[in-house]
Amino acid sequence: MLSILRKARLKDKEMRILMLGLDNSGKTSIVKNIMGEDINTVSPTLGFIIKTIDYDGYKLNIWDVGGQKTLRTYWKNYFEKTDTLIWVVDGTDRERIDDCRQELEGLLLQERLMGASLLVFKNKSDVAGCMSSEEIRKALRLDTIHTHRWNIMECSALTGLNLQEGLKWVVQDAKDRLFLY
């Protein structure tokens, strides 16, 4: 039933993307960069922001939800009808990578996120000394994920590195997964 509903919505070429990650990972900066907005005026998201962008003929509704520890219990309120979860990882935050993994593992167990794809954006890839994609892949145990289609991409909210490629993957994955053309 869920896939039928998704197919119906995607025939209208509309997708719901949920962007989550720990605080200070760069979620809002990524969204602002994608939208062509000034990224020098970013402050912590104390709730959520919804932005809509037309991409490759699809209407992408991006839900950027705050990642502070006190807000994470509210994430479940945003799961409904999610087509793709974009999990943003701060590539420089080695101290919290275990917290990052635990939060992601908890999300992937949620029934309302079943069927959603997962794009892991390794943000701050332009910073010297950041973790490699392989380090992130191992730390998050991505190879053990068999319940969701997933991909990991290096990105930079500041330079825009791979942000458009990430959106391209999201749209192509939805087309492939849901037999759209």
The neighbouring-strand residues paired with 50 are 63
18 in a known ligand binding site = no
pLDDT band at 10 (very low <50, low <70, confident <90, very high): low
125 in a known ligand binding site = yes
pTM for the whole thing?
0.92
pLDDT band at 3 (very low <50, low <70, confident <90, very high): low
36 in a known ligand binding site = no
Fold of 14-39+69-161: Rossmann fold (3.40.50)
124 in a known ligand binding site = yes
Residue 65, token pair as written in the block: 């939800």
Catalytic residue among 68, 102, 164, 172: 68
3-state DSSP assignment of residue 7: helix
Q: Does 139 score more than 60 pLDDT?
A: yes
pLDDT at 81: 92
* Strand 14-20 versus strand 84-90 pairing type: parallel
Residue pair 86/171 in contact by the 8 Å Cβ criterion: no
pLDDT at 55: 93
66 in a known ligand binding site = no
Q: Could you report the per-residue pLDDT of 93-127, keeping only the tens digit for each? A: 999 999 999 999 999 999 999 989 999 999 999 99
* Annotated catalytic residue 164: no
Report which of 162, 161, 170, 178 is spatially closest to residue 58, judged by C-alpha positions. 170
Count Cβ atoms below 10 Å from residue 13 Cβ, excluding itself.
Answer: 16
pLDDT band at 13 (very low <50, low <70, confident <90, very high): confident
126 in a known ligand binding site = yes
More reliable by pLDDT, 165 or 41:
165
pLDDT at 41: 84
Q: Could you report the per-residue pLDDT of 28-80, keeping only the tens digit for each? A: 999 999 999 999 888 888 889 999 999 999 999 999 999 999 999 999 999 99
pLDDT at 174: 87
Residue pair 113/80 in contact by the 8 Å Cβ criterion: no
